[in-house]
Amino acid sequence: MRRNNLLQLLADNRGPFTPIEQRIVAAAQGEATIYLYDPIVSDRVTAEWWGGVCAQDFVPAMRSIEAERIHLRINCGGGDVFAAEAICQAIRDQAAHVVAHVEGLAASAATVITSACDEVLITANSKFMVHESWTFAMGNKRDLAQVIELLAKADQTMMAEYVRKTGATAEQVQTWCEAETWFTGQEAVDAGFADALTGAVDGAAQPAAKAASRHWRLSAYGHAPKLPKPDDQTPTDPPAAPGASADHRARQLQRLRLMERTAIA
């Protein structure tokens, strides 16, 4: 029996909920910036508990931006594939030129989001990871067969995006995904996932980037490299959900530990 990797990713990186309004830097001279610095989760209730970002908040925000150029700044360990696809479609529908800036990490579902952008820039020290889809399930053999079929379809659509973006063969992309492949910034450029290396965050975006920055814990992944930790950040326990009592948190953590021990991923 394997651990629940999706739950592990969220539990390891739980943080305070950030309203979508705080993720957007107002447009100036025809440009706007929006931050994706949290796990991608399926709905707002989950986002409020785990501190992630959900499509039901992010998509309307992306669609509401009126600018000629949108900078999507990404430091994201991945998350829900269907929420990520909703975000992708909002990006595709944007009339603006959308530039993805990978500023630390783009893993799993976050890499599909970068592929939907018009341009992808990545720092040399960032990491970019592609892999096969995950889930956890319960049921009889017919139920689980349907889950396998759904995972295969999710992989097909995801890999098709990678093929379109990189120009690599479907066989090569499948090999990368099956192996859970981690790329450095330059390797991501060489493979075609990113268009160019970029330097530090520009001065106008630095305050928001510092406020959004986070150190990712990646024990959910099988081959994750050790990422550098910001000098001003020390390990802490995941913060409590706003407004939750200590007793409520204890009960929730007990349930999560039980799920972690019993669910399949």
Domains recognised in the chain with CATH numbers: 5-262 (3.90.226.10)
Relative to beta strand 181-184, strand 196-198 is unpaired
Average pLDDT over residues 208-216: 52
Residue of 117, 109, 115 whose CA lies nearest to 93:
117
Place of tokens 């530039």: 99
**C-alpha–C-alpha distance, residues 17 and 231, integer Å:** 23
pLDDT the model gives residue 163: 97
Q: Which residues, at least 6 apart from 7, have a Cβ–Cβ distance to it below 8 Å?
A: 136, 256, 259, 260, 263, 265
pLDDT the model gives residue 89: 97
pLDDT the model gives residue 201: 52
**C-alpha–C-alpha distance, residues 46 and 25, integer Å:** 24
Average pLDDT over residues 158-187: 96
pLDDT the model gives residue 240: 42
Specify the DSSP element, H or E, that contains 184.
strand 181-184
**C-alpha–C-alpha distance, residues 148 and 151, integer Å:** 5
Residues 9 and 77: beta-carbon distance below 8 Å: yes
Q: Where does 117-224 have alpha helices with state H?
A: 141-166, 170-178, 185-191, 206-212
Q: What is the 3-state secondary structure (H, E, C) of 73-84?
A: EEEECCECHHHH
Residues 113 and 36: beta-carbon distance below 8 Å: yes
Question: Phi and psi dihedrals of 127, rounded to 5?
Answer: -120, 145
Residues 50 and 252: beta-carbon distance below 8 Å: no
Place of tokens 């990545």: 122
Using one digit for the tens of pLDDT, what is the confidence trace for 138-172?
889 898 899 899 999 999 999 999 999 999 999 99
The conformation of residue 23, written as its DSSP 8-state character, comes to G
Place of tokens 């396998």: 148
Whether 177 has a pLDDT exceeding 60, the answer reads yes
Using one digit for the tens of pLDDT, what is the confidence trace for 63-93?
999 999 999 999 998 989 999 999 999 999 9
pLDDT the model gives residue 230: 41
Predicted TM-score (pTM) of the model is 0.73
